[in-house]
Amino acid sequence: MSTTASPLPPRPAPASVPPRHATATIVLACLGVFVSYLPVVGVSTALPVLHEALDADTAGLQWITDAFILPTAALLLTCGMVGDLYGRKKVYVAGLAFFCAGSAVCLTANSVVQVCVGQALTGVGTACLLPATLALISHVCPDPGKRARAIAAWTASLGLGLTLGPLINGAILEETGWRWMFLPALVVAAGTAVAGLALLTESRAQRERHLDIPGQLLAVVAITALVYAVIEGGVDGWGSAHTVAGFVIVALALPAFVLVELRSPCPMLDMRLFKSPAFSGAAVVMGVTLFAQVGLVYTLSLYFGLVHGASTLDIGVRLLAVNGFTVLLGPLVGRLMNRTAPGLLLVTGLFVGGVGALLVTVFDATTGTGTAALVIAVFGIGIALAMAPITTITMDSLPYRLAGTAGAANSALRQIGSALGPAVFGVILAGRTLDALPGHLAATDLAAADQGKTLGIVHNAGIEAGAHLQLGSDAATAAYRAAYGASFTDALQTCALVGGVGMLVAAVVAVVLIGVHKRPAHGPVAEAAAMTRPAAGPAPADAN
C-alpha cells in the first residue's frame, strides 16, 4: 500500500465558526474535562475516611477507585466513535448526565457496593466526556495555533480537576460527612449540562461509516480484562487464578482486535495509523507518563498519610504541585507550542519529570515538608511541560474528520496508564515494605516477641493497618514506628526509581519517534490522512 502524502481534506475556514461560539465551546469543553477529573485523586485521598465509615477492607477500597477507572478505560474508544457518527454534543451531554447520576448514587450510599456503582456510572460519564471535549475543540479550532492554545487550556482544566479534587474533599471532610464530597461535582456537572444544551452546536464526522461492533466488543473485552487482571494481581497476587485468566483473555482479545481492525472496511481505530512514528511515539509516552504520574501520586498519598500522619486536606496541599503547575503553566505552554516544536517541549518535560521522580528517592521517614514540596514541584513542572504537547501530537497525528477517534485514543491511553500506575506501584509498595520490615525491626531494641507480633499483623492485615499499631509501651511503639517508616520509605524509593526511569526512557522514545524539530506541513497528519482517506476521493469536511 502506498503511503504517499496527499493534501488533507479542506477544513472549515475559521470564519465559519463565530468567535463567541468557539469561545463558549472551548470553555464548556474545559468544564467537561474539569468535572471528569475531580474524582480521580479526590476520592483516593479520602480512602482512609471511607475505610472507617464503610468498614471496607483493602480490596474494597481498591475497587472504589478502580470502579471509576475500569468503565472509563473500556468505553473511551467506543464513545469517541459514537460521537463521530451521531454527534459530539449528544455524547457530551450524555456524559454529564451519567456523571450526575453516579454522584447522586454516591451521595446516598451506605455500602462499598453502592459507592462502587456510583463510581462506575461517573466512569461511564468520563468515557463520554473525554473524547467529546477534545473533538469539540478540534471542530471549532481549525487553525493549528488556536487549537494548540485550546488544548493547553483543556490540559490545564484537567490538571485543575486533579488539583482541586483532594482540596475540596479535604475541606468537606473537615466540616461534615463523607457523602457530601460528591455534591460539588454533581452541581458543576448539572450546570454544565444545561449550558451545553443551550450553547453547543452539534458536529460529527460525515463519511460513509458504520459502527464497528466486533472491534468495539473486542476493545472493551481487552481493556476490561487488562485492568481487571492488574487489579486482581494487586489484591490476590500475580499468580492467582483470576489474574492469570484476565491476562489470558488479554492475550487472546488484543491480537483479535488488531486483526479485526485491519480487515474492517470501517475500523474504529485504523491500526495503520501506528505507521506514523509521531502517533506511535505519543501513544507510548502517554501511557508511561500517566503510569508514573498517577502511580507516584498514589504512593506519595500513602507516604504522607501513613508515615507522616497527615489528614486528607494536608495530603491534598502537599501534592498541590503535582498537578498545580499544569494549571499555572498552561497558557505559557500553549504559546510555546506555537513558537517551537511540541516534541522539544515534550522531551524537556519528560526529562524534568523523570529527574523529579528520581529525587523522591532521597525521601526518608523524617523528610520535611519544604524538601518534599521542592522535589514534588520539580516533578510537577515536568508533567506540566509534557502533557499538552502529548495531546497536541496525538490529535495532529490523525485526520481532522476523526477528531473524536484521536481524542478517544489519547484518553484511553491516559486511563490505561492511570489504572496500571496505582496497581503496579501498590504491589511494589506492599511487597518492598514487607521485605524491608524484618531488617529494620532487627536493628531496634524491640523484644523478639514484639518483632514477631508486629510482622504477623502487618503481613495479615496489610501495610495500612501497620501504620496504626500500638505496642505495650510508648518506647516500644516509637521504635516500631521508626522501623515501619524506614521500611515504607524504602518501598517509596523503589516506586520513585521505577517512575523516574520510565519517564526518562519515554523521553528517549519521544526523541526517536517524534523528534524535537518542527515538522513540514505534510508530516504525520498528511500521512495519516492518506492512509485513511477512501479511495473514491477526499472525505467531506466536518459538519457544522
C-alpha cell at 90: 449528544
**Amino acid letter for position 528:** A
pTM for this model (two decimals): 0.74
pLDDT tens digits, 470-521: 887 888 888 888 899 899 999 999 999 999 999 999 999 999 988 877 654 4
SS3 string of 196-232? HHHHCCCCCCCCCCCCCHHHHHHHHHHHHHHHHHHHH
275: burial class by Cβ within 10 Å (0-12, 13-18, 19+)?
middle
Residues 6+ apart with CB under 8 A from 307: 365, 467, 484, 485, 488, 489
Residues 6+ apart with CB under 8 A from 228: 70, 242, 246
pLDDT of residue 58: 62
pLDDT of residue 529: 38
Task: Decide: 156 and 392 in contact? Cβ < 8 Å.
Answer: no
- Alpha helix stretches (DSSP H) within 88-208: 88-107, 112-140, 144-175, 183-199
Q: Name which of 491, 492, 498, 424 is nearest 238 in CA terms.
A: 424
The end-to-end CA distance of the chain, in Å, is 33
SS3 string of 343-391? HHHHHHHHHHHHHHHHHHHHCCCCCCHHHHHHHHHHHHHHHHHHHHHHH
Task: Give 239's DSSP letter.
Answer: T
pLDDT of residue 57: 67
pLDDT of residue 535: 39
Q: Which residue has the cell 518492598?
A: 432
pLDDT tens digits, 199-208: 888 887 655 5
pLDDT of residue 99: 94
3-state secondary structure of 49: helix
pLDDT of residue 104: 95
Residues 316, 323: Cα–Cα separation, whole Å: 11
Q: Name which of 289, 288, 228, 230 is nearest 70 in CA terms.
A: 228
pLDDT of residue 16: 55
Q: Show the CA angle centred on residue 410, arms to residues 406 and 411, nearest 5°.
A: 120
Residue 501 main-chain phi, psi, to 5 deg: -65, -40
- The angle, 0 to 180 degrees and rounded to 10, between the axes of the packed helices 58-86 and 112-140 is 30
Q: State the number of CA atoms in the 13 A half-sphere of 400 facing the CB.
A: 23
Q: How far is CA 140 from CA 136, 224, 327, 333, in A?
A: 7, 33, 22, 20
Query: In angstroms, how far is CA 206 from the centroid of its own chain?
Result: 30
Task: Decide: 411 and 134 in contact? Cβ < 8 Å.
Answer: yes
pLDDT of residue 518: 64
pLDDT of residue 506: 94
Task: Decide: 83 and 542 in contact? Cβ < 8 Å.
Answer: no
Mean pLDDT by 10-residue block, N- to C-terminus, for the chain (544 residues)?
Answer: 37 52 90 86 74 73 77 80 87 95 93 92 91 86 79 80 82 86 91 92 70 83 82 75 91 92 78 75 88 86 84 81 78 78 89 95 89 92 87 70 60 72 80 88 85 81 74 84 91 94 94 75 39 38 36
